[in-house]
């Protein structure tokens, strides 16, 4: 487990507090802000900001004086909207991910806002093969020395990605050293999820084609789930994230033999 130097104590403390809030919500089903003041020793202003942040992450719904659990599936956002969320966190993830890529590698870049940033980070490579189904990633790498293999299929306009049977068949005919993927939701019981079931299937085929699977997800992706299930968490080889895990969550990842890098 690694943690990037320079991470402030305030950020760490906030993530720990957010984790405690979610744990309390899971236990009680409903939270009252004035009770949280005593339980967590934080001010009402701080807690209101925490609840607003957790609501943006899709982990709860604020109510007058508190919050309640969210059970509905996460519908996802358009790529251009996702690119604006948690950009600083995503850049920390991308820099760490790029350190695992070497000249001569053949890699798969799944569609997504974090993998799009990774494509920009690796543009200086001279001997690299990138397989992707993401229109924006292929365009980003078109004027570089990187060899780009574009996977065809049905266009999922919201995500600017090609998915479906044609994409799946093409992916079954290639093999890669590493896959770098992002997802819309990570649930320790349900697994890795995305709103579109065809995109979920294509991502699953990508996992089968790669020798090593890297999951790149910021802290907002945990604790929520979408319609399409890609795989169990145990099928990840390396997880690069900004999430601060509880002891129980970390034990679960160790049991599944997932290497965790917290940045």
Q: For 201-210, write each residue's pLDDT tens digit.
A: 999 999 999 9
Q: Please tell me the predicted confidence (pLDDT) of residue 10.
A: 53
- The residue ranking higher by pLDDT, 27 or 213, is 213
Q: How large is the average pLDDT for residues 125-138? A: 97
Q: How confident is the model at residue 4 (pLDDT cuts 50, 70, 90)?
A: very low
Share of the chain above pLDDT 70, in %: 94
Whether the pTM exceeds 0.85: the reply is no
Q: Please tell me the predicted confidence (pLDDT) of residue 78.
A: 79
Q: Which helix (H) or strand (E) holds 12?
A: helix 9-28
- C-beta separation of 243 from 20 below 8 A: no
- The residue ranking higher by pLDDT, 232 or 20, is 232
pLDDT of residue 3 exceeding 80: no
Q: Please tell me the predicted confidence (pLDDT) of residue 9.
A: 46
pLDDT tens digit string along 98-123? 999 999 999 999 999 999 999 999 99
- Buried b or exposed e, range 238-247, using 16+ CB within 10 angstroms: bbbbbbbbee
Q: How confident is the model at residue 2 (pLDDT cuts 50, 70, 90)?
A: very low
Q: How many angstroms separate the CA atoms of 18 and 62, rounded?
A: 14
- CA distances from residue 52 to 62, 105, 180, 241 in whole angstroms, order as listed: 7, 42, 30, 21
- The residue ranking higher by pLDDT, 259 or 41, is 259
Q: What share of the chain is helix, strand, coil (3-state, %, to 5)?
A: 40, 25, 35
Smallest CA-to-CA distance from 43 within 33, 57, 54, 58 is with: 33
Residue ranges and CATH numbers for the domains of the chain are 14-69 (1.10.10.10), 79-262 (3.40.50.1360)
* Residue 245 CB-half CA count within 13 A: 21
pLDDT of residue 153 exceeding 90: yes
Q: How large is the average pLDDT for residues 55-74? A: 78
pLDDT of residue 18 exceeding 80: yes
Smallest CA-to-CA distance from 58 within 174, 221, 248 is with: 221
pLDDT averaged over the chain? 89
- The residue ranking higher by pLDDT, 77 or 108, is 108
């Amino acid at each position: 487990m690694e943690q990037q130097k320079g991470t402030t104590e305030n950020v760490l403390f906030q993530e720990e507090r957010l984790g405690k809030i979610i744990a309390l919500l899971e236990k009680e089903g409903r939270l009252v802000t004035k009770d949280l003041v005593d339980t967590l020793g934080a001010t009402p202003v701080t807690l209101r900001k925490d609840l607003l942040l957790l609501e943006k992450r899709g982990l709860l719904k604020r109510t007058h004086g508190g919050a309640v659990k969210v059970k509905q599936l996460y519908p996802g956002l358009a790529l251009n909207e996702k690119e604006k969320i948690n950009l600083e966190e995503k850049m920390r993830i991308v820099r760490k991910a790029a350190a695992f890529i070497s000249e001569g590698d053949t890699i798969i870049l799944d569609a997504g806002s974090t993998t799009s940033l990774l494509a920009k980070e690796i543009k200086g490579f001279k001997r690299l093969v990138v397989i992707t189904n993401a229109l924006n990633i292929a365009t980003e790498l078109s004027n570089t020395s990187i060899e780009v293999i574009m996977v065809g299929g049905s266009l999922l306009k919201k995500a600017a990605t090609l998915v479906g049977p044609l994409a799946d068949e093409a992916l079954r005919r290639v093999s890669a050293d590493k896959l770098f993927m992002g997802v819309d939701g990570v649930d320790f019981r349900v697994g890795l999820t995305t709103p579109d079931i065809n995109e979920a299937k294509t991502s699953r085929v990508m996992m089968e084609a790669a020798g090593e699977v890297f999951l790149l997800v910021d802290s907002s992706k945990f604790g929520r789930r979408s319609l399409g299930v890609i795989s169990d968490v145990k099928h990840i080889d390396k997880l690069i994230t900004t999430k601060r895990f509880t002891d129980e969550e970390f034990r679960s990842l160790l049991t599944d033999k997932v290497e965790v890098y917290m940045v």
